[in-house]
Amino acid sequence: MAIGSGSDRLMSDINVTPFVDVMLVLLIIFMVTAPMMVQGVDVALPEVSATPMVTEKENLTVTIDRDSNIYINDFQVRMDFLKDKLEKILAAKTDREVFFRADKDVPYGVVVSVMAQIKAAGVEKLGMVTDPFDDQTIGKTSGKKG
């Protein structure tokens, strides 16, 4: 004689509640940690006295850091492939405009070589990016005490 409902079958339904709980916890973890994972290239730009330019679109930027590493936006590129990569990127764009940033400690020859590669890729407008000039650094940069 069977006691109870008389059904000895296994339950084959998936219990969704623990799955949803785990997914919500993972979603919260990724939402909190994603902004912390943004990386950029640290460059000490030369300072000049000029007004900042306001742009409304995301521009293509070539950067040289202190160790003479070259980046297109935030992706590192070797000097050998800079021209080819820029040509492929610019092929899909209507404006052939590039902004150029270089650390102030990078040798002049490296800067000129990279600028030549950029121009050889067919860039029509090459903009130089600098930091605004600070009045407190006048004495430090010119060697005079103010």
In the structure encoding, which two tokens stand for residue 119, read together?
């121009």
Q: What is the pLDDT along the chain (146 residues), one digit of tens a residue?
A: 455 565 677 777 778 888 899 999 999 998 888 777 666 556 665 666 656 555 556 778 899 988 889 998 888 899 888 888 988 888 877 778 888 888 888 888 888 888 888 888 888 788 888 776 665 544 454 444 44
The count of domains in the chain is 1
Place of tokens 């973890």: 29
What are residue 97's phi and psi, to 5 degrees?
-120, 135
In the structure encoding, which two tokens stand for residue 83, read together?
């021209």
The count of other CB atoms within 10 Å of the CB of residue 139 is 11
Predicted confidence at residue 56, as pLDDT, reads 57
Nearest-10 Cα torsion for 106, 109, 115, 118: -100
- 111 lies in a domain? yes
Q: Using CA atoms, how far apart are residues 112 and 135, in angstroms rounded to an integer?
A: 28
In the structure encoding, which two tokens stand for residue 109, read together?
């020859």
Reported as type and span, the H/E element at residue 133 is none
- 131 lies in a domain? yes
Predicted confidence at residue 112, as pLDDT, reads 87
- 100 lies in a domain? yes
- 143 lies in a domain? no
- 19 lies in a domain? no
- 120 lies in a domain? yes
Predicted confidence at residue 23, as pLDDT, reads 92
CATH code assigned at 121:
3.30.420.270
Predicted confidence at residue 143, as pLDDT, reads 46
Place of tokens 């909190």: 32
Predicted confidence at residue 25, as pLDDT, reads 93
- 96 lies in a domain? yes
Q: Is 20 helix (H, G, I), strand (E, B) or coil?
A: helix
| Per-residue burial over 61-96, b = 16 or more CB atoms within 10 Å of its CB, e = otherwise | bbbbbeebebbbeeeebeeeebbebbeeebeeeeee
- 124 lies in a domain? yes
Q: Which domain, by its residues, includes 98?
A: 47-136
